[in-house]
Amino acid sequence: GENVEQHPSTLSVQEGDSAVIKCTYSDSASNYFPWYKQELGKRPQLIIDIRSNVGEKKDQRIAVTLNKTAKHFSLHITETQPEDSAVYFCAASISPRTDKLIFGTGTRLQVFP
Amino acid sequence: DGGITQSPKYLFRKEGQNVTLSCEQNLNHDAMYWYRQDPGQGLRLIYYSQIVNDFQKGDIAEGYSVSREKKESFPLTVTSAQKNPTAFYLCATLGRGDTQYFGPGTRLTVL
């Protein structure tokens, strides 16, 4: 079955710097890759997703890149702000209407003012 | 995900006791999921249901049971067979475009 590895487990950056979180997946059939942000004690919220037919997607300060050959995808946050501090999870699944998402173990991002 | 409610927010269980966590949705989504989250770990799938009156085991189903009698409801029972149930439980539904939406969660603690 699918396995998703996520690195680093913790990441500390200065406000204004960029942050990069990387994930690798094992099943080459996976074609849908969402990223979730979870603040302390709250529910995970989708922040961006990408499908295997594109290599990059941007939404303001957030971008995701996908390398299908190497089976890895990354989240890039530019101009980080203290409110970006949270745990970020990557996931992978086989679309359409897949049974389940396989999640990475999460990255705790701390942005210091 | 404002259309997904979970209750209670906090739940305390005594040893040997069964407890049921509620998950209700008004999004008209067919598929629903239950995840368990432990500190410092990702989300692990317990059970999922793609349609009413049908459900499948996830990766960690032992000690849990579910039912799906109505489209809007997918309750999870944590049985006494689950030896380490203290965790944060999240319910989710599957919307358009394969996006999963999460409820606010229930924090279960064993006394």
pLDDT in tens, A58-105: 999 999 999 999 999 999 999 999 999 999 999 998 766 566 789 999
Is A52 within 8 Å of chain B by CB? no
Residue partners of A112: CB distance under 8 A and separation at least 6: A12, A13, A14, A15, A82
Per-residue pLDDT for B2 more than 90? no
The Cβ-side half-sphere exposure at B73, using a 13 Å CA radius, reads 9
What gap in Å lies between CA B21 and CA A108, rounded to an integer?
A: 28
pLDDT at position B41 = 80
What gap in Å lies between CA A11 and CA A21, rounded to an integer?
A: 8
Q: Which residues of A touch B47 (CB under 8 A)?
A: none
Extract the tokens encoding A77.
């946050």
Min Cα distance A71 → chain B (Å) is: 20
Give B16's pLDDT tier (boundaries 50, 70, 90): confident
The tens digit of pLDDT for each residue in B27-76 reads 999 999 999 999 878 899 999 999 999 999 998 999 999 999 999 999 99
The tens digit of pLDDT for each residue in B69-99 reads 999 999 999 998 888 899 999 999 998 778 8
* Burial environment of residue A10 by CB neighbours within 10 A (0 to 12, 13 to 18, 19 or more): exposed
Average pLDDT for A44-59: 93
B94·A103 Cβ contact <8 A: no
pLDDT at position A99 = 63
Is A28 within 8 Å of chain B by CB? no
Q: What is the mean pLDDT of chain B?
A: 92
Min Cα distance B84 → chain A (Å) is: 19
Q: Is A83 helix (H, G, I), strand (E, B) or coil?
A: helix
Closest CA to A91 of A7, A19, A1, A5: A5
Q: What is the mean pLDDT of chain A?
A: 93
Closest CA to A43 of B1, B72, B41, B7: B1
Per-residue pLDDT for A49 more than 90? yes
pLDDT at position B15 = 84
